[in-house]
C-alpha cells in the first residue's frame, strides 16, 4: 500500500486530466478528502472502495474504527448504534483510544512496506523455480511435460496481456505508475510500479450502484481497484468473491458486470472467442 501512497498527487491529477479525452468516455475523477489529523488539509484520496482515504495511516485508522470497533487518537469515538446498547458503546469513548500511537504506527509500517506479490508465468520465467527439489524426483519425461506446460502458460499470459490492452481495460486499470521522490520511506521512492489502477473514480453504471455515496463519489462511482496480487486471492480464500459486494463468483463474471465507463471494454471482451477470453483471464491470474 505504501507504493500506492508514494505516487505523487500530480500524477493522479494528470491521469484525470488525460482521461477527459478518452475515446470510450472513461473519464476519471479525483476524490478529495480531509486529512484525519488536520481536516483543514485536503488530499487526493486513493484507498477504499471510493478512495475515501488519502494515506495508509488514515485508511488503517478508519478500518480499525469502522470494521473492528477499535479507537485510535485519529478516530477516538466508536460508531455506536442508536438503540439502548448504544449507550454502553458510547460510554467506552471516555476511556481514551484503545490502540496506542506506537501500535498504530507498527500497523502502518507493516501495511506500507509489505511486498507486492511477484507476477507469475511471465516471458522467460524459469518453470522449475523454487520447485527444483521436486524435479529431482521426477522422470525426464515428467519434467519435459512440466516445462512444456509452463511454456504454454507463458504464451497464453503474453497474449492475454495484449488482449487486455486491446480491450482498453488499461483506460482505467493503468498498467504503470511512477512513485514520487518525497515519501517518508526512502525504499518506496522513485520506483516504477505496475498496480493496474489509476486510483480515480469511475462511473460503473446503474447495475453496480449502491445506496451509499461517499464524498464526491456518487452511488455509481468506484475507485479503480489495483489488480496486482489478483491471481493469488483464491489461494488465500478458496471461496473468494469479486467486486465491492462479492456478487461476482469468477473473474469473468467481474468483467461482465462492468457497465457505464467500463462497458466498451466489457463488450470487447464479450466479442472475443472463448480461447482469447481464457487467455485474458490467464493474464489476470498471473498478476
Which structural domain range is residue 35 located in? 31-114
Residue 74 lies in a domain: yes
Residue 182 lies in a domain: no
Structure confidence at residue 134 (pLDDT): 63
Alpha-carbon torsion 170, 230, 151, 191, what sign? positive
Residue 45 in 3-state DSSP?
coil
pLDDT by residue, tens only, the chain of 287 residues: 999 999 999 999 999 999 999 999 999 999 999 999 999 999 999 999 999 999 999 999 999 999 999 999 999 998 887 666 667 788 888 788 999 999 999 999 999 999 999 999 988 776 555 455 566 666 777 777 777 888 899 999 999 999 999 999 999 999 999 999 999 999 999 999 999 999 999 999 999 999 999 999 999 999 999 999 999 999 999 999 999 999 999 999 999 999 999 999 999 999 999 999 999 999 999 99
Structure confidence at residue 127 (pLDDT): 58
Please, which residues bridge with residue 240 across strands? none
Q: Are 197 and 225 in contact (CB under 8 A)?
A: yes
Burial 239-269 (b: 16+ CB within 10 A, else e): eeebbeeeebeebbebbebbbbbbebbbebb
Residue 58 lies in a domain: yes
User: CA of 155: how far to CAs of 67, 98, 106, in Å?
Assistant: 42, 52, 42
Residue 93 lies in a domain: yes
Residue 41 lies in a domain: yes
Structure confidence at residue 124 (pLDDT): 75
User: CA of 254: how far to CAs of 177, 258, 261, 284, in Å?
Assistant: 24, 7, 15, 12
Residues 6+ apart with CB under 8 A from 147: 127, 128
DSSP state of 183: -
Residue 262 lies in a domain: no
Instruction: Please tell me the total count of domains within the chain.
Output: 1
The residue with cell 455509481 is 220
Q: What is the pTM (predicted TM-score) of this model? A: 0.90
Structure confidence at residue 245 (pLDDT): 95
Q: Are 74 and 57 in contact (CB under 8 A)?
A: yes
User: CA of 100: how far to CAs of 73, 74, 222, 260, 285, in Å?
Assistant: 8, 10, 32, 43, 39
Residue 203 lies in a domain: no
The residue with cell 469473468 is 252
Residue 244 lies in a domain: no
Burial of 224 (0-12, 13-18, 19+ CB in 10 A): buried
CA 207 to chain centre: 21
Amino acid at each position: 500500500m505504501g507504493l500506492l501512497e508514494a505516487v505523487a498527487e500530480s500524477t493522479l491529477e494528470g491521469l484525470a486530466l488525460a482521461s477527459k479525452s478518452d475515446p470510450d468516455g472513461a473519464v476519471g475523477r479525483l476524490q478529495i478528502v480531509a486529512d484525519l489529523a488536520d481536516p483543514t488539509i485536503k488530499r487526493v484520496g486513493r484507498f477504499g472502495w471510493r478512495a475515501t482515504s488519502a494515506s495508509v495511516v488514515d485508511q488503517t485508522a478508519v478500518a480499525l474504527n469502522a470494521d473492528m470497533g477499535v479507537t485510535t487518537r485519529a478516530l477516538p469515538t466508536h460508531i455506536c448504534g442508536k438503540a439502548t446498547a448504544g449507550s454502553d458503546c458510547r460510554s467506552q469513548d471516555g476511556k481514551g483510544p484503545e490502540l496506542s500511537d506506537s501500535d498504530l504506527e507498527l500497523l502502518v509500517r507493516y501495511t506500507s512496506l509489505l511486498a507486492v506479490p511477484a507476477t507469475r508465468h511471465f516471458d522467460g520465467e524459469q518453470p522449475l523455480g523454487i520447485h527444483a527439489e521436486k524435479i529431482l524426483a521426477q522422470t525426464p519425461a515428467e519434467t519435459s511435460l512440466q516445462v512444456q506446460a509452463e511454456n504454454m502458460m507463458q504464451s497464453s499470459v503474453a497474449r492475454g496481456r495484449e488482449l487486455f490492452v486491446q480491450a482498453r481495460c488499461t483506460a482505467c486499470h493503468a498498467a504503470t505508475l511512477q512513485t514520487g521522490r518525497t515519501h517518508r520511506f526512502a525504499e518506496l521512492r522513485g520506483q516504477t510500479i505496475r498496480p493496474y489502477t489509476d486510483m480515480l473514480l469511475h462511473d460503473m453504471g446503474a447495475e453496480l450502484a449502491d445506496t451509499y455515496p461517499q464524498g464526491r463519489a456518487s452511488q455509481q462511482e468506484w475507485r479503480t481497484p489495483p489488480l496486482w496480487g489478483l491471481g493469488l486471492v483464491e489461494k488465500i480464500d478458496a471461496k473468494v468473491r469479486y467486486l465491492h459486494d462479492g456478487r461476482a463468483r469468477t473473474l469473468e463474471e467481474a468483467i461482465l458486470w462492468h457497465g457505464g465507463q467500463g462497458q466498451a471494454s466489457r463488450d470487447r471482451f464479450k466479442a472475443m472467442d472463448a480461447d482469447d477470453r481464457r487467455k485474458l483471464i490467464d493474464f489476470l491470474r498471473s498478476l
